[in-house]
Amino acid sequence: MVGVEYEGNVRRGLVGVCLGDGAEHRASLADLAFRRDSEIGRLIGAYLFCMDCNPWPAETQPPPAGDEAAWRYPGHTRSTDPAADVPAIEQPLRLRPFAPWDPADAWPADPDEPVPSCLEPILAAGPRPAFELEQVLPGEDPETMHDPIGEAVDRGGAGDRDGARRLLRSLIAHDARCIDAHGHLGWLAFEYSAKRALPHYQAGVAIAERSLPSTFSGVLPWGLVDNRPFLRCLHGLGLCHWRLGRYEEAASVFHSLLWLNPADNQGARELIELVDGRMPWRSGGP
Domain ranges of the chain: 3-50, 72-136+175-276
| Backbone torsions φ then ψ of 67, nearest 5 degrees | -70, 115
Rounded CA-CA distance 89/47 in Å is: 35
- pLDDT, one tens digit per residue, over 137-193 is 987 666 666 789 999 999 988 989 999 999 999 999 999 999 999 999 999 999 889
Class of CATH domain 72-136+175-276? mainly alpha
Rounded CA-CA distance 200/191 in Å is: 13
Q: Does the structure show a pLDDT above 70 at 1?
A: yes
- Taking Cα atoms as reference points, which of 238, 215, 237, 230 lies closest to residue 261? 230
Residue 139's alpha-carbon distances to 163, 165, 178, 231, in angstroms, are 16, 16, 11, 22
pLDDT category of residue 91 using cuts at 50, 70 and 90:
confident
Query: What is the mean pLDDT of the segment spanning 261-265?
Result: 94
Rounded CA-CA distance 200/189 in Å is: 9
Query: Three-class SS of residue 175?
Result: coil
Q: Does the structure show a pLDDT above 80 at 80?
A: no
153 vs 22, which has greater pLDDT?
153
119 vs 46, which has greater pLDDT?
119
pTM check: above 0.75: no
pLDDT category of residue 72 using cuts at 50, 70 and 90:
very low
Q: Give bridge partners of residue 19 from the DSSP assignment.
A: 24
Q: At what angle do helices 161-174 and 179-190 cross, to 10 degrees?
A: 150
pLDDT category of residue 60 using cuts at 50, 70 and 90:
very low
C-beta neighbour count of 272 within 10 angstroms: 23
Query: What is the mean pLDDT of the segment spanning 196-208?
Result: 93
